[in-house]
Amino acid sequence: MDRRTSKRIKEAKLKARPELSDSQAWYRLGYFDNFDISLDTVELCDNVERVDTSKVSPEEFVERYEQHYTPVVLTNDQADWQASYKWTMEVFNSFYVSLCTFAVPFG
């Protein structure tokens, strides 16, 4: 990525979340303590269909979405994934507390 593109991305992030202007704001404002991106807490502001993978067969998915190049968001695809149980926010924070995190809302 060239310097000009990096500068534009940084400016867009700052405009979207001015309260996160410095590298320690995420921690100073306490966002790391209550960061939750589950579907129950995220406001969906798009028109992309959500498809629950436990309710659609692979064949049905190919027929309804893949063949037609229809964009979808897959949900519940990682329900049995071990990392979802092992990597809680507390564990993540204990390993990566020194890293700078910058969040930008989608939508």
Higher pLDDT, 74 or 89: 74
Residue 49 pairs in a beta bridge with: 72
Average pLDDT of the residues in 64-86: 85
- Residues 73-82 pLDDT 10s: 888 887 778 8
Q: List, as one string, the DSSP characters of 3-59.
A: HHHHHHHHHHHHHH-GGG-STTHHHHTTTTTS----TTTSPP-S-PEEEEGGGS-HH
* Torsions phi, psi for 27 (to 5 deg): -80, -40
Question: Given a cut of 60, is residue 101 above it in pLDDT?
Answer: no
- Residues 8-55 pLDDT 10s: 888 887 887 788 788 788 788 887 777 766 666 666 666 788 899 999
Identify the band that residue 100 occupies on the pLDDT scale cut at 50, 70 and 90: low
Query: Based on C-alpha coordinates, what's the Rg of the chain?
Result: 18
